[in-house]
Chains A and B, each alone.
Chain A
Amino acid sequence: MERRDPRTLLHGLLGPAAPEVSCDTCFEELDRYVDLELAGEDADAAIPGVRAHLEGCPACREEHESLLVLAAERP
C-alpha cells in the first residue's frame, strides 16, 4: 500500500473538529452554499456546518469542487 503523509492519514481518521451537517443536508444546501461563495458572501456563516462536512467527506467535497467550477460558468 502507498504510504501516506501522517497528518493526512490522521485528518482522514479523525475528521473535522467542528460540528458538521450530514451528507443529506450538505446536498440540500450545496447549491445555495456555492452561489453564496460565488457572490463573495460568507457562505460558512450563512450555512454553518457545511464547510466542516466538506473537510470530512471526500465524496461531498469532490461534488462541491465540481459545482463551484460549473456554476461559475454561464450555461
Chain B
Amino acid sequence: MSTSTVGAVHPQSNAPASASVTPEPLDPDTQTWLDDLRSDGMARDAAIARLHALLLRAARFEVGRRRATLPHLRGNELDDIAMEAADDALMSVLRRLDDFRGRSRFTTWVYKFALLEAAVKLRKRSWQGREIPPEPETWNLFADARLGPQAEVELGELLRGVQNAIAVELTPHQRTVLVSLAIDGVPIDVLADRLGSTRGALYKTLHDARRKLRASLTEHGLGLELERRLEES
C-alpha cells in the first residue's frame, strides 16, 4: 500500500526511506527474525515456518473474535479462512521485508498483515450472498435514528441539516458510498469489492462527502450546534 493522507496531516514518518536515513536500532528478537529470514537454506526455511505459525496465530485470533458474526460457518471452514489468511499474509510479509524499518517490533509488524487478511476475508464472507441495500429515492434519517422527544429537540435540526446536505450537496457516487457505509453498515471491504474499488479510494470518497456535509452545516449556521451536540459528547 502507498502512504497518503485524506486530511491535512502528514506524519513525519511517512517520508520515504533513503540511504541517508539512519536505521532504527533493532531489538534482539527483531534482529534475529531479519537475519534468519535473510539467510539461506534450512535456516531460512525454518524461519519461514516459524513466521507462518505466528501469522496463523494472529489469523486464528481474528477468526475467534468474529466467530459470533458467522454462525453459519463450521469450525473447519473458519480454520480454512485462517490458514488462507496466514498464507496470504506470509506472501505480503516476505515481499515487503525490505520495507520494514524497525520502528516497531517485528512481531507487531507482521501481525497486522495477518489481521488485515483475516478481517477482510471474514467481512466478505459475512456478506456473501447478501445484496447491498438499494439506494432509496428519498432520505429519511429520522426513520433510522432512535429519537425520543428530548433527542428530537436536541438533534432534530442537525439531522434535518445533514439529510438536506446528503440530498443536495453530494454526487451520486458520494451518496452511495456514504449511505452504504454510514447508514446501511456495509463493511468498506465488501463495498470496495462490489464497486470494483479499494478501501483507500472509498474512504477518500467518504471523507470528501463528510467534508461537504460539515461545510453545509456550517453554511446553514449549524456548525456551532454540531460542536455543542457532538464534538463535546
Known A3-B145, A7-B155, A32-B103; contact A70-B115, beta-carbon cutoff 8 A: yes
Task: Report B-chain residues with C-beta under 8 Å of the C-beta of A28.
Answer: 1, 3, 14
Query: Quick one: which of B13, B111, B151, B226 contacts A32, CB cutoff 8 A?
Result: B13
Known A9-B145, A57-B203; contact A24-B4, beta-carbon cutoff 8 A: yes
Binding site secondary structure of chain A: helix
Please tell me if the beta carbons of A13 and B210 are within 8 angstroms of each other in the complex.
yes
Interface contact tally, CB-CB below 8 A: 170
- The residue among B159, B182, B231 with the most chain A CB atoms within 10 A of its own CB is B182
Category for how many chain A residues contact B: 35 or more
Please tell me if the beta carbons of A24 and B2 are within 8 angstroms of each other in the complex.
yes
Give 1 or 0 for each of B163-187: 1 = CB within 8 Å of chain A CB.
Answer: 0001000000000001001110001
Query: Quick one: which of B61, B119, B178, B227 contacts A59, CB cutoff 8 A?
Result: B119
Binding site secondary structure of chain B: helix
Please tell me if the beta carbons of B11 and A27 are within 8 angstroms of each other in the complex.
no
Give 1 or 0 for each of A33-70: 1 = CB within 8 Å of chain B CB.
Answer: 01100000000000111101100111100110011011
- The residue among B4, B199, B203, B231 with the most chain A CB atoms within 10 A of its own CB is B203
| Closest-CB distance, A64 to chain B (whole angstroms) | 9
Category for how many chain B residues contact A: 35 or more
Task: Report B-chain residues with C-beta under 8 Å of the C-beta of A22.
Answer: 3-6, 200, 203-204
A45 to B188, CA, bound (A): 27
A12 to B209, CA, bound (A): 12
Please tell me if the beta carbons of B8 and A10 are within 8 angstroms of each other in the complex.
no
| Chain B, range 137-177, C-beta contacts under 8 Å to A | 141, 143-147, 151, 155, 158-159, 162, 166
Query: Interface residues, chain B, CB within 8 Å of chain A?
Result: 1-9, 11, 13-14, 54, 57-58, 61-62, 65, 103-105, 107-109, 111-112, 115-116, 119, 123, 141, 143-147, 151, 155, 158-159, 162, 166, 178, 181-183, 187-189, 199-200, 203-204, 206-207, 210, 213-214, 217, 226-227, 229-231, 233
Shortest 6 CB-CB contacts between residues of A and residues of B: A49-B9, A19-B7, A31-B104, A6-B145, A15-B210, A12-B182
